[in-house]
Amino acid sequence: MAIPLKDPTVGKFVGRTVLVTGGGRGIGEACVRSFASEGASVVIADLDYDAASHVAASIGELGAARPVAVDVTKPDQVDEVLSTSAQISPIDILVNCAGILDTKPLLELDLATWRRVHAINLEGTLFACQSFARLLSATRRPGSIVNIASVVGLLALVNRSAYVSSKHAVVGLTRALALELAPAGIRVNAIAPGVIRTPMADVHFRDPAVAARVQAAHALGRPGRPEEVAAAVRFLASDDAAYLTGVILPVDGGFTCDNQM
Amino acid sequence: MTRFDGRKILITGAGGAIGELTAKMFFAEGASVILADADLAAAQHVATELNGDHRVMACRIDVGDCNSVDAVFADAEARFGPLDGVVNGAGLQEIAPAPASERWKDVLDIHLTGTFSVCRAFAGLANKHRTPASIVNLSSTATHASLPNRAAYVSAKHGLSGLTQQFALEFGAFGIRVNAVAAALRCPPERENARHMVPESDRPAETRIPLGRLATAQDVASVVLFLSSDEASFITGAVVPVDGGFSAGKLWP
């Protein structure tokens, strides 16, 4: 679905390059489209190259959108992808959306699954941040990182111990990197999306009982849309957030402030 | 950007540094602004700078007095129709070593009870109109930390987070989002009492803040506008630190 560019000369991100991991679907895809609609050049990094290509093709005349394949669990690949992209166009903004969900009771959780969830959600974020920081420090450019954490990085849900742990760690990593990269002029923040209608989550909404509970758990009476998360990502990456670093911004319709459900 | 074309926004504390800039920025993006302050002259001064346009109204408000709050909302609605947003910026600073707080009640009355009164009045009206709306409360890093010699202020700001989240839950059904900005203390040298705004320490504030500088009014106002805009349509109950990384941790060892 192409988004018409409002006015190519006044997009807030004209002249900026954004790299989005997990940009092939869901929140990542929404971020790609959102930045592209504001004039950015976007590198769509995804394990699924076809999905990334499809998004790039559909953006069409909005601007430069380039797909690239990457397995974020492999630091050498991540480094290669960021370095190569930076040679084409220096990266200003990194958005870490690559992530997987896993639902399993604790006693059924095997070590391989635990490690895989952390490898993608946490280490993938770490490797991308390290490469980005290395690139920017070498050229002394300022930059901005936005990590996609989750409301379950702030509170827990049942039967998701690996996912909850990995997202809590992303929150901690965000704060740690915010302190450490501040002198280099790199702001590091995170979004904590709540229940969002994405392909990863949508399978759960088909059950009407679940859908009703989701509605009741939100002050705004509904789950969120990927575009709403993307708008918040854009904000954190923009100059309007120039004094924000180490912030974990809930985009959750009030989910985290209601303990009744 | 004209995110607020046709919107009507009431700002309390509009005569203060952040309130004034916030009002000007809303105005620049198309909003009609109601500038409310305990100091009518200060509010009128801002109104004059906006050229006393038909999109501007200045008025006196005593947020500690429900009648004053209700009257201001009634006047604003009579002039502009249903309001789309409120920014609670009214404040009072007290620096006093504990337990010698003489102004405990005043500080709480303005920051906490005053915000409660304004929110209650606004929600009552918005419930009638059922249009999407936004409340942004100007809080402080004091909302989740303690500061020397500011027991009343810290207590009020902690309460303000609770109030923000409580009202986010209660007003969601009316389509009202409620958020807060936990702004770092600033040092605007041109304002009186400026140096009092920075917590005392033998290390300059700049070395204790990860981003290495104090906040500006612009830093805070930009976030207030974002939270008030449609771009924040799924954000409610958030207390957003605007503090240069101050609350992310300690620059230690």
Alpha-carbon distances of B114 from A124, B156, B248, rounded to whole Å: 46, 11, 29
Q: Is residue B246 part of a domain?
A: no
B207 pLDDT more than 90: no
Q: Is residue A53 part of a domain?
A: yes
d(CA A244, CA B89) in angstroms, rounded, equals: 20
d(CA A144, CA A181) in angstroms, rounded, equals: 10
Helix (H, G, I), strand (E, B) or coil at A146: strand
CB contact under 8 A, A231 and B242: no
Question: DSSP string of B70-88?
Answer: HHHHHHHHHHH-S--EEEE
| pLDDT per residue as tens digits for the range A118-134 | 999 999 999 999 999 99
A199 pLDDT more than 80: no
Task: Say yes or no: ipTM exceeds 0.95.
Answer: no
CB contact under 8 A, A257 and B237: yes
If one counts the domains in chain B, the total is: 1
Question: DSSP string of B1-13?
Answer: --TTTT-EEEEET
Q: Is residue B181 part of a domain?
A: yes
Q: Cα-flanking dihedrals φ and ψ of residue A45, to 5°?
A: -100, 125
Q: Is residue B248 part of a domain?
A: no
Q: Is residue B17 part of a domain?
A: yes
Q: Is residue B137 part of a domain?
A: yes
Joined tokens for residue A113: 């699954």
Q: Is residue A2 part of a domain?
A: no
Which residues of chain B lie closer than 8 angstroms to A243, CB-CB?
184, 211, 215-216, 219-220, 242-244
B191 pLDDT more than 60: no
Q: Is residue B199 part of a domain?
A: yes
Q: Cα-flanking dihedrals φ and ψ of residue B32, to 5°?
A: -90, 135
Q: Is residue B247 part of a domain?
A: no
Question: Does the annotation count B153 as an active-site position?
Answer: yes
| pLDDT per residue as tens digits for the range B82-137 | 999 999 998 766 555 655 567 888 888 888 999 999 999 999 888 777 778 999 99
Alpha-carbon distances of B240 from A174, B56, B244, B246, rounded to whole Å: 15, 28, 12, 12
Which residues of chain A lie closer than 8 angstroms to B133, CB-CB?
none
Q: Is residue A188 part of a domain?
A: yes
Residue A159 CA from chain centroid, whole number: 23
| CB-based contact, B247 to chain A, within 8 Å | yes
Taking only residues 178 to 197 of chain B, the set having a beta carbon closer than 8 angstroms to any beta carbon of chain A reads 184
Q: Is residue A59 part of a domain?
A: yes
Q: Is residue B97 part of a domain?
A: yes
If one counts the domains in chain A, the total is: 1
What domain range is B108 assigned to? Answer: 8-241
B144 pLDDT more than 90: no
What domain range is A159 assigned to? Answer: 17-250
Name the residue type at position B145.
A
CATH number where B134 lies = 3.40.50.720
